[in-house]
Amino acid sequence: MRTLVVLDAPSNLGLRPPAPGTVPGCYKLAGALREQRIVQRLGALEGGVVVPPRYDRGEWQPGDGVFNAAAIARYTRTLADRIEGHVRAGEFAVVLGGDCSIQLGAALALRRLGRYGLAAVDGSADFRHVGNSDHVGAAGGEELAIATGRGQADLSDLEGLRPYLQDEDVRLFGMRDGDEDQAELAALKIPNVTVGQLREWGAAELARAAVESLETPALDGYWVHLDADVLDPSVMPAVDSPDDGGLMPDELAPLLRTLVFSPRCVGLNVTIYDPDLDPDGTAGALLADLVVGALAPA
């Protein structure tokens, strides 16, 4: 039995405003999952909250780099401090976001400790960088590129530890079929599995193969990143980019449970679900059920 600890990371610094004068509502994710009694259902310890800086893009314009970069860098260090402490204590950290930029906190924490892998369950690769795009801006769509050393140094080289993740230590699951990043990922030999491939070959089988590859002696362990937009919008409409063709709950469940089951998995973060887009709480209840189903003792 491993000790689970639930930690809130309610940062929305990495997303664009959904409308002028508003801020992304994913900062409410942690509160919504707590309303689903996720801590009690997991039998987890209370890890508290890492409070993010104020969301303020100021006078940012396209071409200025990543917006909120200084705030994200500061938050990444603070979140990394907390995650590092839990991992050092042998606790399994369940980090409730937040947008996907919170994954940088986990990546930095684990880079401080050694060499760790990442299994990302996400509807997109979040691999935008200046090498494949006219400009960057929203770190929530760029965190994998930043974590693998692609991007401005004030985010990708914190504490002189660039890259936080080696390309060969990353595994991607749940990208939409025909994702535009597939060619680049293939050229870089970053393993990735689309929704169609998961259905063809089996989610649990592919996850087991990935886990075996991440349990190599070269790695000290690995982290799992879950973005709610991996689910199809018919069941998870409450995300900033609800693209058709996603996984269904009975496909995600065995994938996620297999990935987190290994004793070499040291933590999980959950991102992007926006309670503002889920007035009856149905999507939030589903997300909580999936996380609890993956982590609760068999």
Rounded to 5°, the CA angle 79-80-84 comes to: 125
pTM here is 0.98
Cα 73 from Cα 11, distance rounded (Å):
12
266 in Cβ contact with 222 (< 8 Å): yes
Average pLDDT, whole number, for the chain? 97
pLDDT digits (tens, 9 = 90+) for 31-85: 999 999 999 999 999 999 999 999 999 999 999 999 999 999 999 999 999 999 9
236 half-sphere exposure, CB direction, 13 A CA radius: 31
Q: Are 103 and 155 in contact (CB under 8 A)?
A: no
Which amino acid type is present at position 59? E
> How many CA within 13 A on the CB side of residue 84?
16
275, 269 Cβ separation under 8 angstroms = no
Question: Which one, of 150, 151, 146, lies nearest residue 65 by Cα?
Answer: 151
Yes or no: is domain 4-295 CATH 3.40.800.10? yes
pLDDT digits (tens, 9 = 90+) for 209-232: 999 999 999 999 999 999 999 999
User: What is the helix (H) or strand (E) element at residue 207, kind and residue range?
Assistant: helix 203-214
Q: What φ, ψ does residue 120 adopt, rounded to 5°? A: -105, 125
Q: Are 30 and 52 in contact (CB under 8 A)?
A: no
**pLDDT per residue over 241-255, tens digit each?**
999 999 999 999 999
The model's confidence at residue 297, banded by pLDDT at 50, 70 and 90, is confident
Task: Tell me the pLDDT tens digit for each residue of 253-265.
Answer: 999 999 999 999 9
Backbone angles phi, psi at 178, to 5 degrees: 85, 10
CB 23 within 8 A of CB 17: yes
For the record, the structure tokens of 150 come out as 């692609």
Give the DSSP H or E segment for 154.
helix 153-156
- pLDDT at position 296 over 90: no
Q: Residue 173's closest CA among 150, 141, 149, 197?
A: 197
298 has pLDDT over 80? no
How many helical (H) and strand (E) elements, i.e. helices and strands, does the chain have?
A: 11, 8
120-154 pLDDT per residue, tens: 999 999 999 999 999 999 999 999 999 999 999 99
Q: Note the pLDDT tens digit of each residue in 90-101.
A: 999 999 999 999
According to DSSP, residue 231 is labeled: B
Q: CA torsion, points 209, 181, 247, 282, in degrees to nearest 10?
A: 130
| Among the listed residues 95, 225, 109, 211, the one whose alpha carbon sits nearest the alpha carbon of residue 158 | 109
Structure confidence at residue 74 (pLDDT) = 98
Give the rounded percent of residues in the chain with a pLDDT score beyond 70.
100
Task: Give residue limits of the domains in the chain.
Answer: 4-295
Query: Rounded CA gap, 268 and 289, in Å?
Result: 15
